[in-house]
Amino acid sequence: MRRGTVAALDSLRGLALGDAFGETWFPVLRAGGDALALIRARRTPGADRWPWTDDTALAAALLRAAWPDGAVEPDAVAREFGLAYRADDGRGYASGMHELLPRLAEEPGAWRAASRALFGGEGSLGNGAAMRAAPLGALLARDPGLAAERAVVAAEVTHRHPEGVAGAVAVTVAAALAVTARGPVDPGALLRRVAGFTPAGLVREGLERGATLPAATAPGTAAEALGSGARMRADDTVPFALWSAARHLDDLTGALWCVAEGLGDVDTTCAITGGVVAARVGVAAAPEEWLRRAEPLPAWAPAA
């Protein structure tokens, strides 16, 4: 098995690459361009630089808090999230995070009440805890059960709704299993294993549906069945992102093209998929042009 720190850094690099690759489609869509036609033709937009978003900022912050042994202390996680937000709050954070994160750099323990108070006291069921989770799973690949437990702790700092937590658990475990799986991996079997660690609810049901989709299912059809993140909910994002990863577990480039076909919250679905697949294979085989265009990791991210 690859060392956890090596796999975790590769996962973070793949997550950031996926985030930047996915984010570059939004200007095309806003300009009325046919992003889907470009994706199916395997042609990237012409932007010279691909910036990453809050997905990468918070993934790097979580990994920094858990570095190097995978320990997750929620106040430390909250502080790192707050500092990442304060360093650059213009990375596309969701509305609830603009309310929560500014407090956490100075008052990390505020998450205990503040994260639960979001959205009328239900807590967030968004995809934000899932989008940042893959590197933690890679770091804890030696024990997917422990990875699932710590995913809950890390998720609850910002996402207290059970579905928001479940999304983070699923992505964390998927990355852990991607690192340890040997030989060719059956996509349906992998999704069923991930579902087995995921709390009961809509996220797990989506994973179970994904496991039953025929091998020839097109990405657009899968996105219609599983959700592409258009609602920015964990249950509407994680199953399709992990279905795409499971289908291309040894091919980062193919995985990102696949998940991009779903459009929706394409930076986040690509970040999740990229983080899971790169935990297994790294980013070296990605197109050189992509690696050149994608924004480097933040200077404060963990380093080898």
Q: How far apart are CA 178 and CA 137, in angstroms?
A: 9
CB 192 within 8 A of CB 239: no
Q: Phi/psi class of residue 43: alpha, beta or left (left: φ > 0; alpha: ψ in -120 to 50)?
A: beta
| pLDDT for residue 155 | 98
| pLDDT for residue 164 | 98
143 is in an annotated binding site: no
| pLDDT for residue 125 | 96
The terminus-to-terminus CA distance of the chain in angstroms comes to: 17
89 is in an annotated binding site: no
55 is in an annotated binding site: yes
Token code pair at residue 183? 């030989």
| pLDDT for residue 206 | 98
44 is in an annotated binding site: no
Token code pair at residue 148? 């699932």
Three-state DSSP at 294 gives strand
Q: How far apart are CA 90 and CA 93, in angstroms?
A: 7
Token code pair at residue 156? 């609850």
For the chain, which residues score pLDDT lower than 70? 1-2, 304
Q: What's the number of CA atoms in the CB half-sphere (13 Å) around residue 127? A: 31
265 is in an annotated binding site: yes
Please, what are the domains in the chain? 4-293 (1.10.4080.10)
Specify the pTM: 0.98
| pLDDT for residue 2 | 63
**Cα dist from 198 to 12, 112, 127, 128, 222, whole Å:** 22, 23, 15, 17, 20
CB 242 within 8 A of CB 194: yes
| pLDDT for residue 1 | 52
SS (H, E, C) 63-107: HHHHCCCCCCCHHHHHHHHHHHHHHCCCCCCCHHHHHHHHHHCCC
267 is in an annotated binding site: yes
For residue 46, the tally of other CB atoms under 10 A from its CB is 9
Planar angle of CA 80, 115, 237, nearest 5 degrees: 85
| pLDDT for residue 300 | 87
- What residues contact 298, with CB distance under 8 A and at least 6 apart? 56, 57, 60, 84, 87
